[in-house]
């Protein structure tokens, strides 16, 4: 399976890097491919290292203004002209999406895939990995959007909230019929 991971490129502490590395190792050991933003810094590097060390493949999609931070020695690297093209290419190369901790860029990517799912433009599974309760507030906001009639269907339909890396990968493999 080709799994797109949206996540931060920031240097973060162990409460975020530990679970990210655990997910990456599970992904690599499962023979899956990481599709990610291509950066060789911060949490993006942690995940790419974990996947590569566990035998998985790496497909990066960088963007021109960040290409100096692109990871060398990957199986495939594409450099997009802008962020919109980058998001499109990341999703085109993926069978599933995992949203890890991140800032506004990660949130932008997350809302894009959720909008595509809401409107029926993709059926790929989406997991929000809620490491250390990072997305508790977002989960509550989604609940409020649903309760107050802003969503045509509950957001829990298009996205699965996982508290642990093993649950995230298990959900993806089950949804794709991979054992």
Q: To which H or E segment does residue 76 belong?
A: strand 76-80
Q: What band does 179 get if pLDDT is binned at 50, 70 and 90?
A: low
Alpha carbons 178 and 51: distance in angstroms, whole number? 18
pLDDT tens by residue, 69-100: 999 999 999 999 999 999 999 999 999 999 99
Q: What band does 155 get if pLDDT is binned at 50, 70 and 90?
A: confident
pLDDT tens by residue, 1-19: 999 999 999 999 999 999 9
Per DSSP bridges, beta strands 76-80 and 57-63 are: parallel
Task: Give the pTM.
Answer: 0.94
Contact 35, 11 (CB under 8 A): no
Indicate the range of 5-14, 143-152, 160-169 predicted with least confidence. Answer: 143-152
C-alpha torsion sign, points 168, 83, 142, 7: positive
Number of neighbouring beta carbons within 10 Å of residue 94: 23
User: Any alpha helices (H) in 6-154, and if so which ranges?
Assistant: 14-29, 42-53, 83-92, 104-118, 136-147
Residues linked to residue 126 through DSSP beta bridges, in sequence order: 97
Contact 101, 23 (CB under 8 A): no
C-alpha torsion sign, points 150, 153, 159, 162: positive
Alpha carbons 62 and 78: distance in angstroms, whole number? 6
Order across the sheet with 160-162: list the strands.
76-80, 57-63, 33-36, 2-6, 96-99, 126-129, 160-162
Residue 114 tokens, joined: 């959720």
């Amino acid at each position: 399976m080709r799994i797109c991971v949206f996540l931060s490129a920031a240097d973060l502490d162990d409460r975020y890097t530990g679970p990210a590395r655990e997910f990456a190792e599970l992904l690599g050991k499962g023979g899956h491919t990481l599709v990610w933003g291509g950066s060789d810094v911060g949490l993006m590097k942690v995940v790419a290292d974990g996947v590569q060390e566990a035998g998985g493949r790496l497909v990066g999609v960088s963007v021109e203004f960040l290409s100096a931070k692109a990871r060398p020695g990957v199986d495939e690297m594409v450099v997009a002209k802008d962020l919109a093209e980058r998001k499109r290419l990341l999703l085109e190369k993926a069978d599933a999406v995992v949203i890890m901790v991140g800032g506004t860029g990660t949130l932008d990517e997350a809302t894009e895939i959720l909008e595509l799912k809401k409107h029926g433009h993709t059926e790929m599974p989406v997991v929000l990995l809620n490491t250390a309760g990072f997305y508790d507030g977002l989960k509550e906001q989604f609940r409020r959007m649903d309760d107050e009639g802003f969503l045509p269907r509950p957001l829990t339909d298009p996205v699965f909230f996982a508290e642990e890396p093993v649950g995230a990968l298990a959900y993806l493999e089950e949804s794709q019929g991979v054992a």
